[in-house]
Structure 1
Amino acid sequence: MKKAFQFKAIATFVIAFLISATAMAQGGKVPASPRETVTGSINGANITIDYGSPAAKGRKIYGELVPYGKMWRAGANEATKFTTDKEITVEGKKLPAGSYSVFVTLTDKDAVVTFNSQVGQWGIKGGGIANEDPTKDVIAVTVKTKSAPMAERLKYVISSKGFELVWDTISIPVSIK
């Protein structure tokens, strides 16, 4: 009887240990495209950009993973969300206070950055098409792209002059006043 009790106690301990070890191992995984948030202030407006940050992982990004001439979600997974608490001027165009999804259409020299009033949607539909309703576009601005040092992960950077989307060896600078 005493041996049966000891056996049950040891078996319970071993099972508990294995379950906790498995749970701890699962908790350490980093998603392939973790959500990131960057905040800043530009001329008194508080800006927040919430986006999925994919990694290049040796892939050719521009012209292949992100095709030229095709709108993309400017991040991974859910569409990138841009929020401003005050009206701002983006590349000379007024953008009212609020939250917007950001989409980008690239060529090999420039980018069209579109601010769309629909937020919270998954960034792509079937077939890899951007999940953007053109009837909800608020503004679209064209900017020149720039060369940048290699960035393995897509990131947004906010400065006093605006923001930049930086990934691979390309920067997409957008001025804000």
Structure 2
Amino acid sequence: MCMLLLGMLLSFSVYAQDAKPKASPAATATGKIGDATVTVNYSSPSVKDRNIWGGLVPYGQVWRSGANEATTVTFDKDVMVEGQKLAAGTYSFYTLPSEEDWTVIFNKKAKQWGTQYDEKEDALRVKVTPRKSGQMNERLKYDVTEDGLLLSWENMEVPVKITASK
């Protein structure tokens, strides 16, 4: 009996040591915009000395705006995104980057692998203007601010203006 217990303990110890951290770990950003609670769930890839914009993330192609499963954004109340109404709910979040402006996409199908995007399921598309970041961001991150949503990665930020619905 003692040997069985010892064997189990050793096998669990070896298994735990083999577990590597994920290359793109799960992350969450949450905050209030007006009286709406906003939550972003995403996987956070690293730059790892790669060319991100126009390279790893090609211009002119829909991007899952994270890694692995589709990034999701949940609003507990109706909001205005760049002046357009978006109903409360959970959406997958995609972007269509270009050098000049980006199309931000809220897709009705929230639970999906990030590469399973279907344009017919779009709830809202808006244009935003990216800007140079004040700092290098090795990992992709999202922030919920009083002005909306901010995607930051490498040397770029993508602000999305969100306000309480009227």
Structure 2 length as normaliser, TM-score? 0.91
User: Is residue 100 of structure 2 the alignment partner of residue 91 of structure 1?
Assistant: no
| Larger-Rg structure | 1
User: Is residue 143 of structure 2 the alignment partner of residue 143 of structure 1?
Assistant: no
Q: Per-residue CA shift, 1:144-166, capped at 9, x if unaligned?
A: 10101110100001111101110
User: Is residue 16 of structure 2 the alignment partner of residue 24 of structure 1?
Assistant: yes
Alpha-carbon separation, structure 1, partners of 2:10 and 2:124:
55
Whose helix proportion is higher, 1 or 2? Answer: 1
| Residue type at the aligned position of 2:132 | S
3-state DSSP class of the match of 1:112?
A: strand
Q: What is the Cα-based RMSD across aligned positions, in Å?
A: 1.7
| Match of residue 64 from structure 1 | 55
Question: 1:23 offset after TM fit, Å?
Answer: 2.2
Alignment of 1:82-121 (within 5 A): 82-121=73-112
- Report the identity percentage: 41
1:42 paired residue among 24, 33, 41: 33
Structure 1 length as normaliser, TM-score? 0.86
3-state DSSP class of the match of 1:72?
A: coil
Question: 1:17 offset after TM fit, Å?
Answer: 5.7
Question: 1:19 offset after TM fit, Å?
Answer: 1.8
Alpha-carbon separation, structure 1, partners of 2:72 and 2:44:
13
Distance 1:16 1:100, change over 3 A: closer
Question: 1:65 offset after TM fit, Å?
Answer: 0.4
Alpha-carbon separation, structure 1, partners of 2:4 and 2:120:
60
Alpha-carbon separation, structure 1, partners of 2:5 and 2:146:
57
Task: Specify every segment of 5 or more residues in structure 1 that has no aligned partner in the other structure, as ranges.
Answer: 1-8, 125-130
Q: Per-residue CA shift, 1:1-31, capped at 9, x if unaligned?
A: xxxxxxxx7x76874564233123134x211
Q: Per-residue CA shift, 1:90-138, capped at 9, x if unaligned?
A: 00000000010111011112111000101110001xxxxxx22111111
Task: Specify every segment of 5 or more residues in structure 2 that has no aligned partner in the other structure, as ranges.
Answer: none
Moved more, 17-26 or 52-61: 17-26
Higher RCO, Cα 8 Å, sep 6+: 2
